[in-house]
Amino acid sequence: MTSNKINSNINSEVSDSVDLRKVIGTYSRHWKWFLLSLIVCISLAYLKLRYATPKYAASAKIILLDDNNSSSPATALLRELDQYSNNEANKVEDEIRIMKSRKLMSDVVKKLDLNVRYSLKGRIHDAEFFQNTPLKLNFIVSDSIVYRSDLSFYVDILSNDEFNYRRTEKDTPKKISFGDNIPSSIGGMVLTPTINNIDKFKGSTFKIKISNVDRVAESYKNAIRISPADKFSKVINISLEDPVKIKAQKIIDELVNQYNETSINQKNLESKKTADFINERIDLIATDLSDVDKNAERFKTGNRLTDITSEADIYLNSGSLNDEQLSASRTELNLINYMKSYLDDIGDGYDPIPSNVGLSDPSILNITARYNELIFERQRLLKSSNDKNPIIVRLNQQLSGLKQSMRQSLENLRNTLSIRVNNLQQQSARINSKISSVPGQERQLRDIQRQQQIKESLYLFLLEKREEATISLTATSPSAKFVDKAYSPIEGPISPKPKMIFLTSIFLGLVIPFSVIYVKDLLNNKIQNKEGLEKELKTIPILGEIPKLKGKNKDSLIERNDRSVLSESFRIIRTNFDYLQRVRKTQKYNNVIFVTSTIKGEGKTFFSMNMALTFANSDKRVLLIGADIRNPRLHTLLNNNKQKKKGKYGLTDYLFDHSLDVKDVIEDFELNKNKIDILLPGKIPPNPAELLMSSRMETLFDEVSRDYDIVIVDTAPSLLVTDTLLFSQYAGHTVYLVRADYTEKNLLSFPKELHQDGKLNGMMTVINGVKLSNFSYGAKYGYGYGDTSKKKSKMKLLKGA
Segment 486-500, tens digit of pLDDT: 888 877 788 888 899
The CA distance from 348 to 396, in Å, is 9
To the nearest whole number, what is the mean pLDDT of the chain? Answer: 81
In contact, 549 and 798? CB cutoff 8 Å: yes
Strands 151-157 and 205-210 come out as: antiparallel
| pLDDT tier for residue 557 given thresholds of 50, 70 and 90 | confident
Q: Give Rg (Cα) of the chain.
A: 67
Taking residues 499-524, what's their average pLDDT? 89
Residue 696's nearest CA partner among 667, 722, 738, 730 is: 730
| pLDDT tier for residue 207 given thresholds of 50, 70 and 90 | very high
Taking residues 523-548, what's their average pLDDT? 84
Taking residues 14-41, what's their average pLDDT? 76
User: Tell me, what's the pLDDT at 715?
Assistant: 92
First to last CA, the chain: 39
Fill in the amino acid letter for 56.
Y
Q: What is the pLDDT of residues 99-149, one digit of tens each?
A: 889 999 999 999 999 999 999 988 777 888 887 889 999 999 898 899 999
Supply the angle between the helices 20-28 and 498-523 in degrees, to the nearest 10: 100
Range with the poorest average pLDDT among 70-79, 204-213, 612-621, 645-654: 70-79
**Burial 416-430, CB ≥16 within 10 A → b, else e:** ebeebbeebeebbee
pLDDT at 657 over 60: yes
The CA distance from 722 to 119, in Å, is 81
pLDDT at 258 over 70: yes
Strands 56-64 and 235-242 come out as: antiparallel
pLDDT at 83 over 50: no
DSSP 8-state class, residue 544: E
Pick the more confident residue, 360 or 182: 182
Q: At 38, which helix (H) or strand (E)? A: helix 31-51
Taking residues 5-21, what's their average pLDDT? 50
User: Tell me, what's the pLDDT at 44?
Assistant: 93
Model confidence pTM above 0.75? no
**Phi/psi of residue 15, each to 5°?**
-95, 140
Q: What is the pLDDT of residues 414-446, one digit of tens each?
A: 788 788 888 887 887 777 776 666 666 667 767
The CA distance from 422 to 429, in Å, is 11
Q: What is the pLDDT of residues 677-712, one digit of tens each?
A: 999 988 888 888 888 888 898 999 999 999 999 999
CB atoms within 10 A of CB 610: 24
Q: What is the pLDDT of residues 756-791, one digit of tens each?
A: 888 898 899 999 988 877 776 544 455 555 554 444
- In the beta sheet, which residues pair with residue 208? 118, 153
pLDDT at 796 over 80: no
Report how far apart, in Å, the C-alpha atoms of 74 and of each of 280, 452, 608 are.
Answer: 14, 25, 103
Pick the more confident residue, 75 or 205: 205
| pLDDT tier for residue 357 given thresholds of 50, 70 and 90 | low
Q: At 120, which helix (H) or strand (E)? A: strand 116-120
User: Tell me, what's the pLDDT at 643?
Assistant: 62
Taking residues 215-233, what's their average pLDDT? 90
DSSP 8-state class, residue 495: B
Would you call the peptide bond into 73 cis, given omega within 30 degrees of 0 as the criterion?
no
Q: Which residues contact 726 (CB under 8 A, 6 or more apart)?
A: 689, 692, 693
